[in-house]
Structure 1
Amino acid sequence: MALSEREQQVLRDLESQLHEEDPALAETLEREERRLTRPSPRHIGAGVALVLVGIALLISGVAVGHGVGSILLGVAGFAVAVWGVSLALTRTAVGVTATPQERRPKSPGRSSFMERQSERWDRRRDAQD
């Protein structure tokens, strides 16, 4: 869920206040945040593939001739290769996963296991009272 503009401003204010009051803690938190990100294997694979496609386009642009089309093909190949490198270097957060509701749609007639267990617990507790 995205933050509203006001929430983002409040967060920025809190961060600046933390940097002023306790710079050592702020540095530790920033270091921890950097440690919690890692390169995604999917991004690396897609980035390498894009770099290879970009190099192939660049070479084919040089091999075609010296016209406007070959220049555009070479520039496009270079752009695709740069895009591939930037994609391969993209880092993602560790441990951030989709919630169960986001992973699979819930069938309307069935409740989740935990909901059923909670209902059973409530019924037993009510029966004892």
Structure 2
Amino acid sequence: MALSEREQQVLRDLEEQLNDEDPSLAETMQHAETTFRRPSPRRVGAGVALLLVGLTVVIGGVAAGSSSVVSILLGVLGFALAVWGVTLMLSRPNSKNTAAGSRGAKRSSFMERQSERWERRRDGQN
């Protein structure tokens, strides 16, 4: 739902007031907006797949108990794949690795986009 012009003006005024009264808090809030992102479904899916493959390799290593060297190598490989999968699921992508970052486009924050829209509308009315 789009904000009315009055609501946008109030939001802009509040943002300016926050920047004037406590610039460190305003900077922290802008930084927190980019820091706390939801994990990518693609990364979670890949992590789950690696975890399952790793567990399958570990079980295969236990089942191939005829040769202890092969069993140990399969166990280590399976464990490494499972750890890699969990790490992939829990990690957040860097902005450099995201699709927007790879295209070279700088992703602006929500407040910056709203400010730009407000400026365009205000300039269009004059």
Q: TM-score, normalised by structure 2?
A: 0.51
> 1:9-66 deviations in whole A, cap 9, x for unaligned?
xxxxxxxxxxxxx54334223321223x221111111111110000000111112116
Matching residue of 1:61? 61
Q: Tell me, which stretches of 5 or more residues in structure 2 are unaligned?
A: 1-22, 104-126
| Other structure's SS at 1:83 match | helix
Q: Computing the radius of gyration over CA atoms, which structure comes out larger, 1 or 2?
A: 1
SS at 1:46's partner residue? helix
What is the CA distance between 1:95 and its match in structure 2? 8.8
Moved over 6 A (4+): none
Cα distance change on mapping 1:97 and 1:23 into 2, 3 Å: closer
Identity %: 49
How many Å apart are 1:75 and its aligned residue?
A: 0.5
Contact 1:40 1:90 in 2 (8 A): no
2:31 alignment partner AA? E
* Partner AA of 1:91 in structure 2: R
Q: What is the count of residue pairs matched by the alignment?
A: 79
Q: How does 1:31-110 map to 2 (within 5 A)?
A: 31-35=32-36, 37-65=37-65, 67-92=68-93, 96=100
- Taking structure 1 as the reference length, the TM-score comes to 0.50
Could you tell me whether the CA contact under 8 Å between 1:55 and 1:77 is conserved in 2? yes
Please state whether the residue corresponding to 2:100 is helix, strand or coil: coil
Which structure has greater strand proportion? 1
Any gaps of 5 or more consecutive residues in structure 1? 1-21, 100-129
